[in-house]
Amino acid sequence: MSQPPERGRGAATVAFEHVSKRYGVGRDGRGAVNDLSLLVPAGRICVLVGPSGCGKTTSLKMVNRLIEPSAGRILIDGADVAGEEPIALRRRIGYVIQQVGLFPHQTVGQNVATVPRLLDWAEDRQRARTDALLTLVGLEPATHRERYPHQLSGGERQRVGVARALAADPPVMLMDEPFGAVDPIVRERLQNEFLRLQADLAKTIIFVTHDVDEAIKMGDLVAVMQDGGTLAQFGSPREILANPASDFVARFVGADRGLKRLSLTRVRDVQLRAAATVRAGDEVAEARRRAAADRFGYLLLIDAADHPIGWIEGRDLPAAGHVEAAMAVPMSPFLEPETTLKDALSMLLGADVRAGVAVDAGGRLLGLLTVDDIAGGLEAR
Amino acid sequence: MIDWGWIARHLDDIAAATSAHVALTAVAVGGGLVVSAVLALLIHRYRRAYGPVTAISGLIYTIPSLALFALLVPITGLSFLTAEIGLVGYTLLILVRNIVAGLDAVPPEAHEAATAMGYSPAGRLWRIELPLALPVIVAGLRVATVSTIGLVMVTALIGEGGLGQLMLRGFTLQNYTAVGVGTVLSVALAVMADLLFIGLLWVATPWRRARGR
């Protein structure tokens, strides 16, 4: 067994000071970023969000000097990045992009070990680190290490991309629409996994997206940018939803701002309902009694390790005998502790069910969350 | 028809002609690859060079081989060098084009990721871009090699030629066995060279063999 990855060697603050980027020369120069100033405290996720062409990706790329600013400074822990050799700087900054950009001719293991290899780590240290990171992002090293990127699913590729960015334990990570290329259900899961990782790693992360919901969910801080590369508002998701600084911000976060506030609350923050559960092998008579006591008349079949298997409707139970796994109907996507109530609501409405099953990171039952619970909370807020 | 006795008596000559043919081809393709790689990297770095470089190598390619050697003989004489200058010249168009096309086909996101993770430009070229360009480069090498094996025949007229020399003498002396031997061996060389490149590419690109999810 490989040891868990080293804990973050402390994140770094990232500061933009009056940063501008113009393309072209003189007065005709097109402004891509205009006088951007931001302070991202160590260990926080700052999301840059805005319509396309607002300069968010340009801003991101100036941090690791893929693009050089026309004016202003970017400081990492107080040191101007312009004073550092770009190649050394980039090896200390993790980088994840939407298209992932895995090297197609290298195995998953070689991809993850990219920066350690560039830093000339010893082979066995590279290997141990690679395995630990694959485990961290939920990929079994033995089965994935020797595969090539084209042999992975989109979600697996994204996980490898995150593992690769974390390989040399960088204090700062840049993520440009990292979950943009996968379907909504996989995206929701990757977001949750990433938030769980970040809770342990506490990296300083600059995260670009055009999706307001993702910004609100992922960001400790959100910077809303608008055309011409100006900063429209910078603050916590709660502040931005409660007090949009301008008409632009109000329009951008959307008329459903009230509904979006559901994104500020996660499944782990609310009181879940206990489910009426049953296990295979239980007496039918007992199961009937429990179903009768349940509000909806449904039983949740769980296995010996508390993993939910499916629903059994009380009146479908046979007259006598024992409960069998085959009686259960498989269920809709699970809710995770990191799932926002907004996502939970849309998942429940999408699956046309009244109650969602919440599970922990190990897939064990936590409880039930109903549409009514979510709606009730909305009124209370 | 075929004089087996002649073949038996001239095995040494046949072997010498064959190895001369292989040497002429190998030096031409090797030299062509070096020159083309330099030109292709120049184009990769300075895109404006693409037009002029392909125009000149295209022009060389259109000169009939006999005329090209006739032009060179007054300068470099009836020599190995003369033969190689011509042969290398003919490989440039296909090799430059394929190396550039191979490098252009590297996925932009892999290129960007490599830069952003701290590869130096040279490291990125060597570890990321060239391996990914390899299939297209090898495709160019196959065509260049097979056409060079044919062109080497023509250099018999300036005293080189490998198997071409054998055939030329055969025609002059009406020894059709020699002509037949030259023909069969040159075709065999071309097929073997092609298979060699296919094999090398197979060995060098394990990722293209991995299948499934």
Which of A216, A234, A258 is a domain's end point? A258
Q: Are residues A277 and A163 in the same domain?
A: no
- Tell me the pLDDT band of A7, cut-offs 50, 70 and 90: very low
Q: Greater confidence, A255 or A48? A: A48
Q: Is residue A279 part of a domain?
A: yes
CB atoms within 10 A of CB A256: 12
Q: Are residues A226 and A310 in the same domain?
A: no
User: Chain B residue with minimal CA distance to A86?
Assistant: B118
pLDDT in tens, B173-208: 999 899 999 999 999 999 999 999 999 999 999 999
Residues belonging to chain A with any Cβ–Cβ distance to chain B shorter than 8 Å: 64, 66, 87-91, 95, 97, 99-107, 114-115, 118, 147-148, 150-153, 164, 174
Q: Are residues A293 and A319 in the same domain?
A: yes
CATH code at position A288: 3.10.580.10
User: Chain B residue with minimal CA distance to A113?
Assistant: B117
Q: B116 and A88 in contact by Cβ < 8 A?
A: no
Q: Are residues A184 and A233 in the same domain?
A: yes
Q: Are residues A219 and A73 in the same domain?
A: yes
Cα distance between residue A165 and residue A150, in whole Å: 19
CB A349 within 8 A of CB A339: no
Q: Which residues in chain A are contacts of B107 at CB distance < 8 A?
A: 99, 101, 104
Q: Is residue A2 part of a domain?
A: no
pLDDT in tens, A296-307: 788 888 888 888
Residues A28-54 have a mean pLDDT of: 88
Residue A3 has pLDDT above 60, yes or no: no
Residue A6 has pLDDT above 50, yes or no: no
Out of A44-58, A235-249, A341-355, B137-151, which region has the weakest mean confidence (pLDDT)? A341-355
Q: Are residues A161 and A65 in the same domain?
A: yes
Whole-number pLDDT of residue A11: 83
Whole-number pLDDT of residue A8: 43
Of B128, B210, B213, the CB nearest to A103: B128
Whole-number pLDDT of residue A378: 65
Which residues 108-147 of B are in CB contact (within 8 Å) with A? 109-110, 112-120, 123, 128, 131-132
Whole-number pLDDT of residue A152: 94
Which of A230, A258, A286 is a domain's end point? A258
pLDDT in tens, A75-86: 999 999 999 999
Whole-number pLDDT of residue A315: 80
Q: Are residues A86 and A209 in the same domain?
A: yes
Of A64, A87, A101, the CB nearest to B109: A101
Q: B116 and A64 in contact by Cβ < 8 A?
A: yes
Q: Which residues in chain A are contacts of B118 at CB distance < 8 A?
A: 87-91, 115, 118
At position A182, the amino acid (one-letter code) is: V
Whole-number pLDDT of residue A379: 62
Q: Are residues A102 and A232 in the same domain?
A: yes
Contacts of B87 (CB under 8 A, 6+ apart): B24, B25, B27, B28, B32, B148, B151, B152, B155
Residues B116-137 have a mean pLDDT of: 96
pLDDT in tens, B7-45: 889 899 999 999 999 999 999 999 999 999 999 999 999
Q: Tell which residue, A113, A78, A115, A72, has the closest CA to residue A93.
A: A115
Q: Are residues A246 and A302 in the same domain?
A: no
Whole-number pLDDT of residue A87: 96
Residues A321-337 have a mean pLDDT of: 82
Of B117, B210, B213, the CB nearest to A90: B117
* Phi, psi (degrees; rounded to nearest 5) at A343: -65, -40
pLDDT in tens, A164-179: 999 999 999 999 999 9
Q: Are residues A207 and A316 in the same domain?
A: no
The percent of residues in chain A predicted with pLDDT above 70, rounded, is 94
Alpha carbon of B115: minimum distance to chain A alpha carbons (Å): 8
Whole-number pLDDT of residue A330: 79
Q: Is residue A9 part of a domain?
A: no
Q: B207 and A64 in contact by Cβ < 8 A?
A: no
pLDDT in tens, A126-137: 999 999 999 999
Whole-number pLDDT of residue A220: 95
- Tell me the pLDDT band of A256, cut-offs 50, 70 and 90: confident
Q: % helix / strand / coil in chain B, to the nearest 5?
A: 85, 0, 15
Which of A191, A225, A258 is a domain's end point? A258
Whole-number pLDDT of residue A263: 83
User: Chain A residue with minimal CA distance to B132?
Assistant: A105
Q: Is residue A5 part of a domain?
A: no
User: Chain B residue with minimal CA distance to A144?
Assistant: B213
Q: Are residues A277 and A198 in the same domain?
A: no
pLDDT in tens, B66-112: 898 888 999 998 889 999 999 999 999 999 999 999 999 999 999 99
Q: A164 and B117 in contact by Cβ < 8 A?
A: yes
Contacts of A72 (CB under 8 A, 6+ apart): A16, A17, A18, A19, A20, A35, A36, A37
User: Chain B residue with minimal CA distance to A91?
Assistant: B118
Q: Is residue A230 part of a domain?
A: yes
Task: For residue A93, give the DSSP letter.
Answer: E
Q: Tell which residue, A176, A206, A195, A213, has the closest CA to residue A100.
A: A176
Q: Tell which residue, A103, A81, A114, has the closest CA to residue A149.
A: A103
Q: Is residue A7 part of a domain?
A: no
Q: State the best of B111, B117, B208 to mutate against chain A, taking most chain A CBs within 10 Å.
A: B117
Q: Is residue A210 part of a domain?
A: yes
Give burial (CB, 10 Å; 0-12/13-18/19+) of B68.
buried
CATH code at position A225: 3.40.50.300
Structure tokens at A259: 């509904």
Cα distance between residue A136 and residue A148, in whole Å: 19
Taking the C-alpha atoms of A11, A16, A17 and A18 in order, what is their torsion angle to the nearest 10 degrees?
Answer: 180
Any A CB within 8 A of B51 CB: no
| End-to-end Cα spacing for chain A | 47
Domains of chain B in start order, with CATH, are: 4-204 (1.10.3720.10)
Q: Which residues in chain A are contacts of B123 at CB distance < 8 A?
A: 118
pTM of the predicted model as reported, rounded to 2 decimal places: 0.81
Whole-number pLDDT of residue A4: 43
User: Chain B residue with minimal CA distance to A111?
Assistant: B114
Q: Greater confidence, B19 or A8? A: B19
CB A30 within 8 A of CB A190: no
Q: Tell which residue, A230, A173, A248, A172, has the closest CA to residue A20.
A: A230
At position B155, the amino acid (one-letter code) is: T
Q: Which domain holds residue A145?
A: 14-258
- Total count of domains within chain A: 2
Cβ pairs bridging A and B (under 8 Å):
70
Q: Are residues A21 and A62 in the same domain?
A: yes
What mean pLDDT value characterizes chain A?
A: 88
Q: Is residue A4 part of a domain?
A: no
Q: State the best of A105, A115, A153 to mutate against chain B, taking most chain B CBs within 10 Å.
A: A105
Structure tokens at B194: 């092609």
